[in-house]
């Protein structure tokens, strides 16, 4: 568990930019990674590091972003508006009036850095205990192109940060880069940000300029991050994909440490819960609020979204389910489709090419092949034969089908709802059901078979002649 840095720590999360390189109308920080908008990860890192107050600076798409933050974090997060995007210094300046007057230290980070480690934020916050007005997180990288360089004197003290486009050729050879993560004493941050000027190629207010101010006012403390890749900001789609791959790996490792098996190619959202001894096979995708119970197995290629899988259930390969529940020791698939509001109870079977929608399949009931079961209630131990269809839609509204416990539905049966088939009833193969079937009754509705002796050869000859006959000329 991360050791928190203390409630006196406040966070400012910079999230006002559009992110034009994403080529999207969506605010950059709302682009999802592993089922959550990327800004959530930066906020969660700040909260885990002990921030008692988090202020998110919004600008482009601010209504959409603010609505998300309220839904996701409630009153743990507040917003401040940057009216025009005039640089990181201006963004922080927009947030300062909203800070609690009791704030002692302020953590500043970017909403497009989803890989931050809370433990490093704690170390950073602790590094200014000695009296420095500012501390910054730095990283060493083989290719520092595009990053602000950390400039030090001969004794190793930080003097300033120079943005790449403003740096000299000599400065660009520096491999230590600024990650955009700072902790400052609140009083210093207010004074230094108030004095920022747009003296740069972009004509913006750079927050990095406060580093030089701090160097002259007590020095700059620094913490070097263990991994530069974990601090990369997401500015375009390739970086988004790369960050998501790292997050998927972290999620899988966390689940493995808790006692479950996760194959390397599985993709599990950050919001998913997997209990011990569950097995998640290759190419499985688990999304949303999915929960996989102990000893359950999700086999190759299955995709589950907001699905509750009970302990010891088996989801066979290439099954798809959403907004549904799967009971203990139930079996699903292969190639099954559970549409929303399907409830498959304990020990029930849904087999290959069976589709359910808004249907309860009660304990021990089976539909093993080729069926559509919509708007139904299938009783315990009932058997649904191959090719069965619940005809639930009349073109205007949906109707319910009820099948009693222990009923047997023969193959190729069409059940035209609304209708009830009683307990222990038997529906013969090829039947079309249009009215209720009482308990323990046999329902059969098919044309009488007629055999015409010797007629097959005559029919074949006639059909052959019609194919080979030449068209008449004209």
**389-398 tens-digit pLDDT:** 999 999 999 9
In the predicted model, is pLDDT for residue 471 greater than 70? no
| Residue 471 tokens, joined | 């068209």
Provide the pLDDT for residue 3.
40
**207-234 tens-digit pLDDT:** 999 999 999 999 999 999 887 777 778 9
**260-285 tens-digit pLDDT:** 999 999 999 999 999 999 999 999 99
Provide the pLDDT for residue 470.
60
Q: Report the mean per-residue pLDDT for the chain.
A: 93
In the predicted model, is pLDDT for residue 146 greater than 90? no
Asked if 392 and 398 touch (Cβ cutoff 8 Å), the reply is yes
User: What stretch of H or E contains 185?
Assistant: strand 176-185
pTM of the model: 0.89
d(CA 77, CA 175): 35
Angle at 271 between CA 268 and CA 276, to 5 degrees: 65
Provide the pLDDT for residue 191.
96
d(CA 11, CA 70): 17
Asked if 351 and 369 touch (Cβ cutoff 8 Å), the reply is yes
Buried b (16+ CB within 10 A) or exposed e, 13-37: bbbbbbbeebeeebbbbbbebbbbb
Closest CA to 15 of 61, 51, 57: 57
Distances (CA, A) of 167 to 41, 197, 461: 31, 17, 91
In the predicted model, is pLDDT for residue 465 greater than 70? yes
**Confidence at 468, pLDDT banded by 50, 70, 90:** confident
Provide the pLDDT for residue 469.
67
Q: What is the DSSP letter of 382?
A: -
SS3 of 309-366: the string is: ECCCCEECCCCEEEEEEECCCCEECCCCEECCCCEECCCCEEEEEEEEECCEECCCCE
Provide the pLDDT for residue 236.
92
Closest CA to 312 of 294, 326, 324: 294
Indicate the SS3 state at residue 47: helix
Active site residue 164: no
Residue 6 or residue 125, greater confidence: 125
Instruction: Give me the mean pLDDT over the 245-249 stretch.
Output: 95
Asked if 46 and 109 touch (Cβ cutoff 8 Å), the reply is yes
Weakest mean pLDDT among 130-144, 221-235, 352-366: 221-235
Weakest mean pLDDT among 56-60, 142-146, 157-161: 142-146
**69-124 tens-digit pLDDT:** 999 999 999 999 999 889 999 999 999 999 988 889 999 999 999 999 999 999 99
Weakest mean pLDDT among 150-164, 188-202, 282-296, 335-349: 188-202
As a whole-number percent, the residues of the chain with pLDDT over 90 amount to 85
**Confidence at 447, pLDDT banded by 50, 70, 90:** confident
Among the options 31, 68, 349, 369, which is catalytic? 369
In the predicted model, is pLDDT for residue 405 greater than 50? yes
Please, which residues have CB within 8 angstroms of residue 430's CB and are 6 or more apart in sequence?
410, 411, 412, 413, 446
Instruction: Give me the mean pLDDT over the 289-306 stretch.
Output: 98
Closest CA to 150 of 176, 168, 173, 169: 176
Residue 371 or residue 7, greater confidence: 371
Q: Omega before 215 cis (within 30°)? A: no
d(CA 442, CA 353): 27
């Amino acid at each position: 568990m991360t050791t928190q840095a203390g409630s006196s720590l406040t966070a400012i999360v910079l999230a006002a930019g559009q992110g034009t390189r994403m080529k999207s109308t969506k605010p950059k920080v709302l682009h999802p990674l592993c089922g959550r908008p990327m800004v959530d990860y930066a906020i969660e890192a700040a909260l885990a590091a002990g921030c008692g107050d988090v202020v998110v600076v919004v600008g482009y798409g601010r209504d959409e972003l603010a609505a998300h933050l309220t839904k996701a974090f409630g009153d743990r997060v507040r917003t401040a508006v940057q009216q025009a995007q005039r640089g990181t210094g201006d963004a922080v300046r927009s947030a300062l009036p909203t800070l609690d007057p009791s704030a002692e230290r302020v953590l500043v980070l970017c909403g497009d850095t989803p890989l931050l480690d809370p433990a490093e934020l704690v170390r950073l916050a602790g590094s200014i205990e000695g009296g420095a007005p500012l501390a910054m997180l730095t990283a060493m990288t083989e290719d520092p192109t595009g990053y602000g360089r950390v400039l030090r004197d001969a004794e190793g003290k930080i003097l300033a940060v120079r943005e790449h486009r403003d740096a000299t050729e000599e400065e660009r050879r520096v491999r230590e880069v600024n990650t955009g993560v700072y902790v400052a004493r609140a009083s210093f941050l207010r004074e230094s940000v108030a004095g920022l000027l747009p003296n740069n190629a972009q004509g913006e207010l750079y927050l990095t300029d406060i580093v030089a101010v701090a160097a002259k006012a007590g020095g700059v403390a620094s913490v070097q991050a263990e991994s530069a890749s974990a601090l990369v900001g997401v500015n375009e789609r390739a970086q988004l994909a790369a960050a998501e791959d790292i997050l998927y790996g972290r999620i899988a490792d966390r689940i493995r440490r808790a006692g479950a098996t996760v194959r390397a190619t599985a993709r599990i959202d950050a919001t998913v819960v997997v209990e011990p001894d569950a097995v998640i096979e290759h190419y499985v995708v688990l999304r949303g609020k999915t929960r996989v119970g102990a000893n359950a197995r999700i086999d190759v290629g299955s995709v589950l979204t907001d699905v509750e899988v009970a302990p010891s259930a088996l989801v066979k390969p290439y099954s798809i389910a959403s907004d549904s529940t799967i009971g203990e020791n139930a079996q699903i698939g292969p190639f099954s489709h559970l549409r929303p509001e399907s409830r498959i109870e304990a020990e029930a079977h849904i087999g290959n090419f069976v589709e359910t929608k808004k249907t309860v399949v009660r304990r021990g009931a089976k539909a093993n092949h080729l069926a559509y079961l919509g708007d139904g209630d299938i009783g315990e131990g009932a058997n649904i034969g191959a090719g069965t269809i619940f005809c639930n839609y009349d073109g205007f509204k949906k109707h319910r089908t009820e099948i009693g416990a222990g009923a047997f539905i023969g193959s190729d049966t069409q059940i035209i709802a609304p209708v009830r088939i009683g307990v222990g009833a038997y529906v013969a193969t090829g039947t079309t059901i249009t009215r209720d079937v009482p308990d323990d009754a046999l329902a059969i509705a098919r044309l009488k078979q007629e055999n015409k002796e010797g007629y097959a050869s005559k029919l074949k000859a006639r059909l052959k002649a019609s194919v080979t006959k030449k068209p008449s000329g004209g």
